[in-house]
Amino acid sequence: MSDSSAFSGIALPSPTLSARLGEVAAHLAAPLADRLTEEQRALTLGIARRLVGEAAAALGARIDPAALWRDWLAQGLPGAERLAAPCFARAEEHRWRALPALHRDTSSPADGVSDADAADMPPAASQAPLAPVDQAYLDLTIADRRRFDALGNPCIAVADLDPEIYRALLGDVVEWQAHAGVDMNAVAELDDAACAAAARQAPESGIDAAAAVYHTALVAEGALSDAAAAAAMRHDWPALIGLAAAAHRRPYGEMALALVSAEAAALPPLLAPLRIDRGAIAPIEASLARVPARALAGAPEGEG
């Protein structure tokens, strides 16, 4: 594939990770021929299907998303190389986050009160505004929740997708509909709808913006390292990924894939901007080690 990562900045591709992303692209282009595990295949394909459905819905009711997906599933997804990295990153992040925590600190990120103790506390006054850090964390949580569908399946929120990839996907859907024999006026209307959908995405705020605000709020209070270490102890991976992404000024999905594919020795440099000590990195390393079939960034080709 010509651009296996579709990411910029952090150097993700190693021989193993590049090969794995190539397999994802091949799988999306020809879903019955790949070497991914069953879990990776199902998650990646499901995330791609939900993303295609979102693009179809953005173009209006005339698009039949089920027919579109059946056709693309049989023929191969156009732009599979563009979609491989974001879909694989979301799938790998989900596999990591779905692991049960062996040892987990359940204290609140805001006040250090455990979940059990919080149930016995009187409710806060409804009119009391949240502190900036607490509000930013809540916004990050909401942005993350948008990365799941109504049934709890992982997806990519449109606001979190690279604008160029989204525009290309919309164009692919329009082209598919054009080949279905609709008249030129209908195709022109779909082109206009695609432009409008792309324009609607531009001002949308997703998890990257929420993570950046949370990071800024913590830095302002001198609480970044403590919050990052607490997130690691709680296995609050969305908060940890978001803070690391904001600190590196990289997209959340790119940072998620960098962490999930990182060898143990690569974790300290990736997390260095958060200024957490080695003890706080230990639970991250232990959790990542339990993710099956990871594409390790430092492993020789053929391993991982």
Q: 73-100: per-residue pLDDT in tens?
A: 888 889 888 999 999 999 999 999 999 8
User: Over 50: is that where the pLDDT of 130 sits?
Assistant: yes
What is the chain's mean pLDDT, rounded? Answer: 85
Which pLDDT band holds residue 7 (cuts at 50, 70, 90)? low
The dihedral built from the CA positions of residue 237, 96, 12 and 173, taken in this order, carries a sign that is negative
**What letter does residue 105 receive in the DSSP assignment?**
-
pLDDT, position 86 = 95
How much of the chain is helix, strand and coil, in % rounded to 5? Answer: 60, 0, 35
If pLDDT is split at 50, 70 and 90, which confidence band does 120 have? very low
What is the band of 112 on the pLDDT scale with cuts at 50, 70, 90? very low
- pLDDT band of 8, cuts 50, 70, 90: low
pLDDT over 90 (residue 107): no
User: Amino acid identity of 264?
Assistant: A
Give tens-digit pLDDT for 154-195.
999 999 999 999 999 999 999 998 887 667 778 889 999 999
pLDDT tens sequence across 204-219:
999 999 999 999 999 9
Neighbours of 254 (CB within 10 A): 23
Q: Bridge partners of 107?
A: 114
**Among 31, 162, 42, 35, residue whose Cα is nearest residue 95:** 42
Measured distance CA(247)–CA(20) in Å, rounded: 27
Residue 22 has pLDDT above 90, yes or no: no
CA distance 289 to 264: 9
Count of C-beta atoms within a 10 Å radius of residue 196: 14
Give every CB contact of residue 71 below 8 A, 6+ residues apart in sequence.
176
Cα–Cα distance, 202 to 207 (Å, whole number): 14
Element (H, E) at 43: helix 38-58
